Copies of this chain bind each other. A is one copy, B any other.
Amino acid sequence: MRIAVAGTFDIIHPGHIYLLKEASKYGELHVIIARDKNVKKTKGKKPIFNENERKLIIENMKFVKKAYLGDLNDFFKVIKFIDPDIIFLGPDQDKEWAETEIRKRDLNAKIIQLNLRENYSSSGTLEILRRLYKKIDKEGKGGDRNPSSK
């Protein structure tokens, strides 16, 4: 069984680990990394790590068989290439959209979505951004900056 997962995977957090682990239970895990240009378009801002860095980090995660950069124009181009049995979605990804698109494209992949209730988001990107803002806010005020810090 080949499983496909797609995402930005900018700053690796426990929610990512959980997603990759659950997806990989179904078979060989192939991960598509969103391109910098598309992240900028979709989220309105560039990721912290560029696409090659994000790919390098993901392909060095235990549950991952292979990582790919997405296509700049057609999200389904790399999906077609992988030809997965399952497209595994994160809890915040659009299942309805994915189902409509695979029906349009002669793809036989089944869609499985990680359950929202399984505590994915609590350690997710929003939580990390909250911590980063808090940290930088503190440091901006010189709160706990330490000159000896490496």
Contacts and interface: CB of A to CB of B under 8 A. Distances in A.
A67 to B, nearest CB: 11
B63 A149 contact: no
A57 B123 CA distance: 12
A146 B20 CA distance: 28
Interface stretch (A45-53, A81-89, A99-107, A110-118): A45-53
21 contacts: A13-B49, A13-B53, A14-B49, A14-B56, A17-B56, A21-B60, A42-B149, A43-B146, A45-B139, A45-B144, A45-B145, A45-B146, A48-B131, A53-B123, A60-B63, A62-B64, A92-B150, A125-B150, A132-B132, A133-B136, A136-B136
A44 B145 CA distance: 6
Interface in A1-24: 11-14, 17, 20-21
Given A133-B136, A136-B132, A136-B133, A149 B57 contact: no
Contact of A149 (B13, B20, B45): B45
A135 interface: yes
Given A14-B49, A53-B123, 20 more contacts: A11-B11, A11-B12, A12-B57, A13-B49, A17-B56, A17-B57, A17-B60, A42-B148, A42-B150, A43-B150, A44-B144, A44-B149, A45-B139, A45-B146, A48-B131, A48-B132, A60-B62, A61-B62, A62-B64, A133-B136
Interface of A: 11-14, 17, 20-21, 42-46, 48-49, 53, 56-57, 60-64, 92, 123, 125, 128, 131-133, 135-136, 138-139, 144-146, 148-150
